Amino acid sequence: MEQREVPGPKSLIVAEWKQQVSGIRSIFGRLAFLAGLRNSETGRYTHYQLAPSLGERETDAVIRAYHLETFALWLSFNLEMQKADLDLFLASVAGHRRQILAACAVLAPHVWCIPDGAAEHERRLYLADLEAILEPLYTQYNLGTRSNSEPRLHPFGEGVIRPRLT
């Protein structure tokens, strides 16, 4: 008879937490949520439900891995699927769509959704995909285009975007 490994309390806590996060309907929304759990000064992830049971180091590792996994899932979508997912995210955010997009154009919060462990080519693909999706929306809402306004997707200049301060 084959023995099955019984999940320990820590793995059950992680599974339950991931189930809660998967309740965020859009993958982009999950990226934003997970990025929000990262301390911009230390680069470490934390969460009030996980840290007491897992400890700081394991909490960081769990969230970091899940952020990378979610990022890879977003990148696996074609542009049409990414646009639909971003529309779902924008519909879930309180406020007028034009105001939300105007804030995105200036603050580029989507840049901070990139996990630290993402490869250079993944960063570039993510930014290029979002640029392709957002530019028509900026035009639709009369927010200007990249050619006649400040760069949106590369607020620190061209090259590697590092979402945390080191």
Classify residue 134: in a domain, yes or no: yes
Classify residue 114: in a domain, yes or no: yes
**Residue range of the domain that includes 76:** 9-148
**Tokens read off for 110:** 């989507």
**Helix, strand, coil tally for the chain in percent (to 5):** 60, 0, 35
Q: What is the pLDDT of residue 157?
A: 37
Classify residue 156: in a domain, yes or no: no
Classify residue 160: in a domain, yes or no: no
Q: What is the pLDDT of residue 21?
A: 96
Q: Greater confidence, 95 or 11?
A: 11
Per-residue pLDDT band for 151 (boundaries 50, 70, 90) equals very low
In tens, the pLDDT along 53-93 reads: 999 999 999 999 999 999 999 999 999 999 999 999 988 88
Q: Greater confidence, 121 or 164?
A: 121
**How many angstroms separate the CA atoms of 42 and 70, rounded?**
21
Q: What is the pLDDT of residue 13?
A: 94
Sign of CA dihedral 41, 46, 52, 57: negative
Per-residue pLDDT band for 7 (boundaries 50, 70, 90) equals low
Number of structural domains (the chain) is: 1
24 closest CA partner among 89, 114, 121, 95: 89
> Average pLDDT, whole number, for the chain?
83
Strand partners, 45: 38
